[in-house]
Amino acid sequence: MLASWIYGIGTAAFVIALALALGFTPLVKKFAIRIGAMDVPNQRKVHTRVMPRLGGVAIYASFTVAILLILPFLPEGALSGYDRRLIGGLLTGGTLIVLLGALDDKFDLSAKLKLVVQIAAACIVVFGFDVKINLLNIPFGSAMQPLGEWIGIPLTIIWIVAVTNAINLIDGLDGLAAGVSGIAVATMLVMGLLMGNETIVILATLLLGSIVGFLFFNFHPAKIFMGDSGSLFLGFALAILSMLGFKQITVVSFITPLLIIGVPLSDTFFAIVRRWIHKKPLFAADKGHLHHCLQQLGFSHRKTVLIIYGIAAFFGTCAVVQSSISNTGLGNWITFIVICALVFLLQIGAELIGIVDKSRRPILDLLARLRMKPQTQSRGK
């Protein structure tokens, strides 16, 4: 059950973060132009004119300042020790991530250096603030299973780094990464309301306000790009916020955070498979991501973004439904069926748009053969 104060403070938090983002973004745009942090078009990119980057700095600044403004007004005891450590880890590690992204927006750092710094930021969260995955809901298990540190620590670091990069990989169209992240944050907000978790409601509201304010300048046609400073920070923030989901052990199973960010994670998975099949380096950029494939099918810039928004909203809805049924008697079986159906649909969708390989469509070819077989048999008779 949510405390009565959460609705007033939550509304104020959203308005404050939104107003800060609306004010900071034009200032960051001017700063990016002044220092030459610009995104220059090339054969791999969709946009055709030079655009200022560093938009993520505005999101980060809005979120951080809003937190500092809101925290003094929270009732005493509203935040647990774990919540305070999580917020500290988010702000400290997030600051390092934003600095990394801002430097990359200006100087184009190497992928290996960025990975090392991301791991360092994850280690700050784990070792500096003792925030890690301690319990996991194993499907069809009788209860939450405790994880030893030798599993929990590496699992947490891998989770943070993977989600951080997943958002970065989908940042290819105006408003895409910000919108998908906003939908994921909105999903967490809904789940926080359902779970009665005031902390996740406050943090999700603050981050959502910062994203929406930035989207006023980032949706097509964009006036500024978020750059790596934005995509990396949003990925990092989503990874940390989802850690609250792992702590809500009686409501959220291990699969829920995966569903919340299903679009960037699935796009990342298909990118890894695509590059492995074609024997390309895993960190090599290409034009085979979901948004590229949709545009190659003839969808406009704006329609492509809206389609992916719809897919992200579908994943978010599945996450909310799944978390709601996870405690019922048939919860594990329903979750298993839903996940199998989603995996099947993802594979069909991937083959239809050619996100892995334009010529390899094993499931569609199998379905076609099965459909033709009865017709051949009937002709033989």
Helix, strand or coil, per DSSP, at residue 59: helix
- Give φ, ψ of 269 to 5 degrees: -60, -50
Instruction: State the Rg of the chain over Cα.
Output: 21
Helices 227-247 + 55-70 axis angle, to 10: 40
Quote the CA–CA distance of 116 and 152 in Å, as a whole number.
Answer: 20
The answer to whether 168 is annotated as binding is yes
Pairing of strands 51-52, 38-39: antiparallel
Measured CA to CA, the distance from residue 313 to residue 42 in angstroms comes to 31
> Is position 197 annotated in a ligand binding site?
no
| Burial degree of 16 (CB within 10 A; 0-12, 13-18, 19+) | buried
Exposure b/e, 139-165, CB count within 10 A at least 16 = b: eeeeebeebeeeebbeebbebbbbbbb
Q: Check: CB of residue 217 under 8 Å from CB of residue 223.
A: yes
Neighbours of 122 (CB within 10 A): 28
Residue ranges at the known binding site for Mg(2+): 168, 228
Residue ranges at the known binding site: 168, 228
